[in-house]
Amino acid sequence: MKIIKKSIWCLAILAIVLSSCNSEEKDCCANLEGPKLVIKFKFDPTQERLNNLGQPTTIPSGNAAQSPNFARMSANYIEFASSANTLLGTGEIIYNGPETTEGGALAIDFQNAQFAGSDEIFIAIPLEQIAQGNYNWVRVSLAYQEGSINFLQNGNDITGTLASFVGYNSYITNFDVNGSMFNINENKLQGFWAFEALGFSTQGQAPAGATTVPNPLFDSSPVPQGSCVVTGQFANAFTITGNETEDVEVTLSFSVNNSFEWTEINVDGKYEPSIGEQPVDMGLRGLIPSVSN
């Protein structure tokens, strides 16, 4: 389902929002002697599988899917929102990753991106830099995912590595997947992917608008198509008082429940790229944030 009809207009709006955030970006390398806000990632294959509206969904007819085993992930933007009516870019922006116009249009600077694996720290920010207030929602603009998937090759079940660029636009010079080098040197829109297994490598582009981006605030706080801004709600309001003396840890749990989806040619529920089965959706399937001290 499309959130906004004109995707080019949406990407332009997103670029303006994200570029305007640079002046408000938190200094993740500042003095960390005092209490910190620590952001961790978690990848959960059992978490509910959601659609673009944040509602439970099944796999479409003609497609199949599996839950990847992600090794690492990158995000380009994290924002806390106080209410369901807080529009994108008007909440408390706690992180905005590096961006560049080297490839033409504004894009995520992949070579300088920050990465983290499951249950690993993504960023740590002095709490004194975060505005006091009650936050009920978090928005995360995802940029990159890398992990293992299963596929069928000549009747044999094999494990390969998938690298997927799910950000709004990424400038990529090159990257390595299990020793296979991909030289790109240009911008790639959301849905670009690369795959490696047993020395064989290939790359491709998922259809525009096909990447799922769950947003349960679709009606009150829409996000541009192609942005990959996933939205999740804290179980209880997350409050920053300004009087914290200990670190506050926020875990962003992403649903990877059947998040890698492809078109079936041989209807057997197994990904078989050698016969032309193509990835169509690599979007994460939900976000549940939680807080611990």
Is residue 2, in this structure, part of any structural domain at all? no
pLDDT per position as a tens digit, 10-65: 343 344 344 444 434 555 544 557 899 999 999 999 999 999 999 999 999 999 99
Residue 275 belongs to domain spanning: 7-13+35-292
Domain count along the chain: 1
> Where do the DSSP E strands lie in 49-168?
63-66, 69-81, 92-96, 99-100, 107-109, 121-126, 133-153, 156-165
Report in angstroms the alpha-carbon separations of 77 from 18, 136, 261: 8, 17, 25
Name the CA radius of gyration of the chain, rounded: 19
The pLDDT value given to residue 8: 33
Q: Does 283 reside within a domain?
A: yes
In the numeric block, which tokens belong to residue 83? 């209410």
* Residue pLDDT, tens place only, 179-192: 899 999 999 999 99
pTM flag (> 0.85): yes
Query: Does residue 20 lie in a domain region?
Result: no
- Compute the CA torsion angle 210, 213, 215, 219 (nearest 10 deg): -30
> What was the pLDDT predicted at 66?
97
75 lies in some domain:
yes
Question: Is residue 157 assigned to a domain?
Answer: yes
Give the Cα separation of 185 and 34 in Å (integer): 41
Quick one: pLDDT band at residue 5, thresholds 50, 70, 90? very low
User: Does 22 map to a domain?
Assistant: no
- pLDDT at residue 141 greater than cutoff 70: yes
- Establish if 29 belongs to a structural domain: no
pLDDT of residue 292: 87
Residue 210 belongs to some domain of the structure: yes
pLDDT in tens, 277-289: 988 999 999 999 9
The whole-angstrom distance between residue 277's C-alpha and the CA centroid of its chain comes to 24
* pLDDT at 209 (0 to 100): 84
